[in-house]
Chain A
Amino acid sequence: EAQVTQNPRYLITVTGKKLTVTCSQNMNHEYMSWYRQDPGLGLRQIYYSMNVEVTDKGDVPEGYKVSRKEKRNFPLILESPSPNQTSLYFCASSPNDSVNEQYFGPGTRLTVT
């Protein structure tokens, strides 16, 4: 089944404790992206990658890191999480020639206390 998977689905952590949210897709898509969703603000892009070893900042990259060492994986790293990073996070992927049609993962709900 074609899908985007994220782990963990739920995470509660404390300020400053490094964490990684994994994202994997099995559709051989070049393009991958991370979004955060907050009430009233919609989906805001954090980082995106158009291919292996190519990453770019989205609209809200501060406090986040990403890497793209393999085509299928695009982990999101919070080196020192803060409470304002409490949010619902989505990973998405698409072919490079069709970034309009993004396939989203199920989401990761992160709470930072």
Chain B
Amino acid sequence: GQQLNQSPQSMFIQEGEDVSMNCTSSSIFNTWLWYKQDPGEGPVLLIALYKAGELTSNGRLTAQFGITRKDSFLNISASIPSDVGIYFCAGPSQLYDKVIFGPGTSLSVIP
């Protein structure tokens, strides 16, 4: 079945540093999604990508839809303490009846 892998599994960075994380799959996805889960809350959609090669920004966040359609990248510039949380990549199933989530990248920001 369709599966997503994320790396790194966890990151500890200094406030102000840039962050980069990625998501890969052995199968093609036609849409890539990035969700963020703040501590103690449910995930929230950050960015949706719909076209191979697409680069989309949301404030300090930038995400890219890989050319092969088997990967996606999320970058956070000038990290701040409120960036702490778990970042999930996700994509719709082939029948578009559900969303498949990766295992997540846990981000910790040291002030």
Question: Closest Cβ of chain B: how far from A48's Cβ, in Å?
Answer: 6
Give min CB distance, A69 to chain B, whole Å: 21
Chain B residues contacting A45 (CB-CB under 8 Å) are 98-99
Hey, which chain A residues are within 8 Å of B41, CB to CB?
A: 104, 106-107
A2 within 8 A of B: no
A92-B2 Cα distance, complex, nearest whole Å: 21
* Contacts of A9-67 to chain B: CB distance below 8 A: 33, 35, 40-45, 48, 50, 56, 58-59
| A45 CA / B33 CA spacing, docked (Å) | 16
Chain A residues with Cβ below 8 Å from B101 are: 35, 42-44
Q: Measured between alpha carbons, how far is A35 from B4 in the docked complex, in Å?
A: 16
B-side contacts of A104, CB under 8 Å: 41-44
The main secondary structure of chain A at its interface with chain B is strand
CB distance from A110 to the nearest CB of B (A): 15
Check if B99 sits within 8 Å of A102, measured CB to CB.
yes
Give A33 to B48 CA distance when docked, in angstroms.
Answer: 19
Q: Within the assembled complex, what's the spacing in Å between the Cα atoms of A104 and B35?
A: 11
Provide the bound-state CA to CA distance between A78 and B92, in Å: 27
Check: A99 CB closer than 8 A to any chain B CB: yes
A42 and B86 CA atoms in complex are apart in Å by 10
Chain B contacts with A in 61-105, Cβ cutoff 8 A = 88, 90, 92, 96-99, 101-104
B-binding residues in A (CB < 8 A): 4, 33, 35, 40-45, 48, 50, 56, 58-59, 90, 92, 99-102, 104-107
Closest 6 CB pairs of A and B: A104-B42, A42-B103, A43-B101, A42-B101, A101-B45, A42-B104
